[in-house]
Structure 1
């Protein structure tokens, strides 16, 4: 029943406060929300906790991972497609990773953190022609740790936010045990946003319905609530 922005704000605060940082929550929220939503989250965070979200994030993270989080928090992505920069960006990413020994993480962070989703999709297509690899493959090989996870989330969200969340839900229920926190957080936060699209992408990507996956991996009242949020056993 919490307003969506306040739910995000509370999730971020809980991810930061106390011992350790829940990087998964920071990555999921900051890579998937629109620029306006990020601005609203930052304002609501200050109002709710009398703290600066960017300062709290920088105080709890480090290195390239922190730098990309800060760029995302600034919510200043370029608008639209810069036709003249598509090939240049693809070449820069190729030179920063696959082309040479070692990785220039700063170039990955600058381009993936500052370009619009529409522009990045065009860059990814150009990159595939140039490098022979999908952007996700190169990120996997050329980076590591929290930065790799964040870059992958940014790339996947640029391609399709619903597909990103379909995959997030799949892995929350895959294998032994269920990541209940991630499952609940995604189902609640997306239930009135793009759940129908997430359901369709889940079936397309994993050849089963999200409804049946939840049925098989949860139990009791939690299962009943999640199935209602899911809304049915059709794509």
Structure 2
């Protein structure tokens, strides 16, 4: 069965002629003694797919008796160390860790929570939920629910439920019906029936939502994004807007997030690392294209100018060649 975390538009693919034992031995040698051969570590971990990295980690433990992730944590530090640890973490477990960090720290990092849950497929969310319980022995839905409230909480829990339709076919009659329901729940009435927005935006497939938004504009004369800004507010609005953006163009959604974290006041390395690692085998090539279209500058060159050292070298390897 194909992985839910791999697509043909990623920058990282299976390495031809892969040999897990050879790579594990090279990593062991690179981290032995005083100092670390960072170049070798970067070349191996950014040049192998996540599935191959898991096999390397298994061989590494057989050689050394130590988890590769723990060895990297001991031998590296800062943003560089964190991105290497991310690379050797299975994708669902990585997302589970990121979510846990957003809700277990001081205050909730709503933007990170929105980014992850709005963009993942139902299958991916089910795998994240399973990984979350395996790692933390706690329910993802209970932890998310405990740390959030109101319509924002209800929408997050609907997404965590993983019931979004995965059918790639969109139906015009359903789009017309749903567009009317959304129009009646918002623009057409005094006050907003939030439950209708939550139900449709969290259960319909992205292709179906995209067609629904087109029908909505025909019906109301407004884009769905504009109506949501008028009818909702706060984190709830940001979450619904993220779903709309992902349904319309997921790579463009991530391109916007990347530009914000690179060009904002100081580089947000946590977000930069999370997006590049999590999309590296899915659609990072598409994200690069959208970034260039939106900002007239390559993602590669912006990362190069806004990061430094081994962290920069690692991120540029993940990003792939310049555009």
Settle same-fold status: TM greater than 0.5: yes
Ranges in structure 1 where 5+ consecutive residues have no aligned partner: none
Which range is displaced more, 123-132 or 96-105?
96-105
Q: d(CA) in 2 for partners of 1:67 and 1:165?
A: 24
Alpha-carbon distance, 1:219 to partner: 2.3
- Structure 2 contact 121–164 (Cα < 8 Å) conserved: no
Give the superposed CA RMSD: 1.4
Structure 2 counterpart of 1:132: 221
Q: d(CA) in 1 for partners of 2:149 and 2:308?
A: 38
SS at match of 1:160: helix
| Pairs within 5 Å for 1:159-178 | 159-178=248-267
Ranges in structure 2 where 5+ consecutive residues have no aligned partner: 1-87
Q: Does 1:65 align with 2:156?
A: no
Q: d(CA) in 1 for partners of 2:121 and 2:136?
A: 22
Which range is displaced more, 7-16 or 136-145?
136-145
Bigger relative CO (Cα 8 Å, ≥ 6 apart): 2
| Pairs within 5 Å for 1:1-235 | 1-78=88-165, 79=167, 80-234=169-323
SS at match of 1:75: coil
Q: d(CA) in 1 for partners of 2:295 and 2:284?
A: 16
Number of equivalences: 234
TM (norm. structure 2) is 0.69
- Structure 2 contact 163–202 (Cα < 8 Å) conserved: no
Alpha-carbon distance, 1:102 to partner: 2.5
Which structure has the larger Rg? Answer: 2
TM (norm. structure 1) is 0.94
